[in-house]
Homo-oligomer: A and B are copies of this chain.
Amino acid sequence: MNSASDVVAIDLGGTNALIALVDADYGVGGRVKIPTDPDAGPDVVVDRIAEAVQGLVSDSGGAAVSAVGIGAPGPLDPESGVVAFAPNLGWHNVPLKEMLETRLSIPVFVGNDVNVGTLGEHRLGAGKGVSDLVGVFVGTGIGGGVITGGALHGGFNDSAGEVGHMVVKRGGPRCGCGNRGCWEAMASRTAINRRLMKARENGVPSSLWDGADKPTARIKSKALRRALAAGDELVTREMKRCARYLGIGAANLINLLSPEMIIFGGGVVEAMEDWLMPQICSTAEDYSLEHSMQSVQIVAAKLGDDAGILGCAVMARDRASAGSA
């Protein structure tokens, strides 16, 4: 390992930040997870991240770090490194790059978290060697990234890949963005939960609310997996619906962009991959044009939680060597 080319990768979420030291072969030398605590404000959050980075470097015996890559939620400007808007963090126009560079004195490169996750899967995960793909991450929301010609496609406003806000059911349920019938409002864990809670109000039986724990409005992916494995009728029906919408959205992406691959990741997919993927593929086949679907692969992500940090490492290394500021 050439420690001179280590990079620090930071996957910044609304709850936690995952920070890792990544070597030139994309091996993770050390990692730490710290609470983000967004209520403390951006300065405190960035202070803590900087401290954790310094701790990680010091623990490694003082690795020479050439760059920092950070994936942040929400739309942002990759050049200036300003996060325009991150509702989970309560951030508006936070100059993340500048703030972190001031504290660390190392070049910092900022990217959108799901874009960066897609980049990770593209370069080191399910999409290795594939030059046109779309990454879709299904969790609380649905986010993604678009790779064309082997590179992340940012587009005019550097915001390509907002797949979750593609309307697939006009007039459907309200989405977090304020509109109705977005993909995210139909197939994310939030959408699944909304329908499960409604079913519960209507007295529909389910193993989800048979246990000792009081059911909450936030049923986790693992609980869904257990109920599915146990043959729970309600959960099976709702997950079939989710799979169908995921397949329709995948077909939309295939018809629009003619990618070679669609990668599905995120908590919902990870938890129920074997059950979900064949159904997603079959619906996507039904809804995509025959010619566009030829030899297209629809696959599960491979890197799990590491897609974010590994993507950050790829981004930091690429942009540092390209001399991008």
Contacts and interface: CB of A to CB of B under 8 A. Distances in A.
Given A179-B287, A287-B179, A292-B75, A257 B153 contact: yes
Contacts of A160: 256-258
Contacts of A172: 170
Give the secondary structure class of A's interface. loop
Contact of A256 (B146, B169, B292): B146
B155 A286 contact: no
B159 A291 contact: yes
Contact of A155 (B169, B171, B179, B257): B257
Interface string A133-165: 000000000000010110001111111111101
Task: List the number of copies, as a whole number.
Answer: 2
The residue among A172, A248, A286, A295 with the most chain B CB atoms within 10 A of its own CB is A248
A132 interface: yes
A85 B291 contact: yes
A170 B177 CA distance: 19
A170 B132 CA distance: 26
Interface in A267-320: 286-296
Interface of A: 75, 84-85, 132, 146, 148-149, 153-163, 165-172, 177, 179, 181, 186, 245, 248, 251-253, 255-260, 286-296
